Chain A
Amino acid sequence: MKLVIAIIQSHKLDEVMKALDDKQVYLKTVTNVLGCGRQKGDTEVYRGVKEAGNLLKKVRLEIAVNDNYLESTIQAIMNSARTGKIGDGKIFVVDLSQCYRIRTGEMGPVAIG
Chain B
Amino acid sequence: MMQAVNYTDVVFILLATALVMLMTTPGLAFFYGGLVRRKNVLSTMMQSFVMLCLVSLQWIFGGYSLAFGPDVGHFVGNLSWFGLHGVGMAPNPDYAATIPHQLFMVYQMMFAVITPALITGAFAERMKFSSCVVFCLLWTTLVYDPVCHWVWGSGGWLKERGVLDFAGGIVVHATSGISALVCALVLGRRKGYPGHGIPPHNMTYALLGASLLWFGWFGFNAGSALAANEVAVSAFIVTNTAAAAAALVWMAIEWRVIGKPTALGGATGAVAGLATITPAAGFVAPLFAVVIGVLAGGCCYMAVVLVKQRFEYDDSLDAFGVHGIGGILGVIATGLFAQKAINPAGNNGLFFSNPSFLNTQLFGVFVAIAYAALLSFVILKAVDAVLGLRVKDEEEVMGLDHTQHQESAYTLID
A-side residues, CB < 8 A to B, are 11, 14, 32-34, 42-46, 57
B-side residues, CB < 8 A to A, are 192, 196, 397-398, 402, 406-408, 412-413
If A14-B192, A34-B413 touch, does A44 touch B402 (CB 8 Å cutoff)? Answer: yes
CB <8 Å contact, A43 and B412: no
The interface residues of chain B, by DSSP majority, are classed as: loop
Among A11, A14, A34, A43, the residue within 8 A (CB) of B406 is A43
Q: How far is the CA of A81 from the CA of B402 in the complex (A)?
A: 21
Closest to B191 in A: A11
Residues of B within 8 A of A11 (CB): 397-398
Name the distance in Å between A43's Cβ and chain B's nearest Cβ: 7
Residues of B within 8 A of A33 (CB): 412
Name the distance in Å between A20's Cβ and chain B's nearest Cβ: 15
CB <8 Å contact, B412 and A57: yes
Q: How far is the CA of A45 from the CA of B402 in the complex (A)?
A: 10
Q: How far is the CA of A35 from the CA of B369 in the complex (A)?
A: 50
CB <8 Å contact, A42 and B402: yes
Among B196, B407, B413, the residue within 8 A (CB) of A46 is B407
CB <8 Å contact, A34 and B407: no
Ranked nearest first, the 10 interchain pairs of A and B with the lowest CB-CB distance are A11-B397, A45-B406, A34-B412, A44-B406, A14-B196, A44-B407, A32-B412, A44-B408, A34-B413, A57-B412
Residues of B within 8 A of A45 (CB): 406-407
Residues of A within 8 A of B192 (CB): 14
Q: How far is the CA of A47 from the CA of B309 in the complex (A)?
A: 42
Name the distance in Å between A26's Cβ and chain B's nearest Cβ: 18
Q: How far is the CA of A43 from the CA of B192 in the complex (A)?
A: 27
Q: How far is the CA of A88 from the CA of B371 in the complex (A)?
A: 48
Closest to A50 in B: B406
Name the distance in Å between B68's Cβ and chain A's nearest Cβ: 39
Q: How far is the CA of A42 from the CA of B333 in the complex (A)?
A: 53
Q: How far is the CA of A57 from the CA of B413 in the complex (A)?
A: 11
**Interchain residue pairs with CB less than 8 A apart (19):** A11-B397, A11-B398, A14-B192, A14-B196, A32-B412, A33-B412, A34-B412, A34-B413, A42-B402, A43-B406, A44-B402, A44-B406, A44-B407, A44-B408, A45-B406, A45-B407, A46-B407, A57-B408, A57-B412
Q: How far is the CA of A43 from the CA of B413 in the complex (A)?
A: 16
Closest to B408 in A: A44
Residues of A within 8 A of B413 (CB): 34
Residues of A within 8 A of B407 (CB): 44-46
Q: How far is the CA of A32 from the CA of B37 in the complex (A)?
A: 14
Residues of B within 8 A of A32 (CB): 412
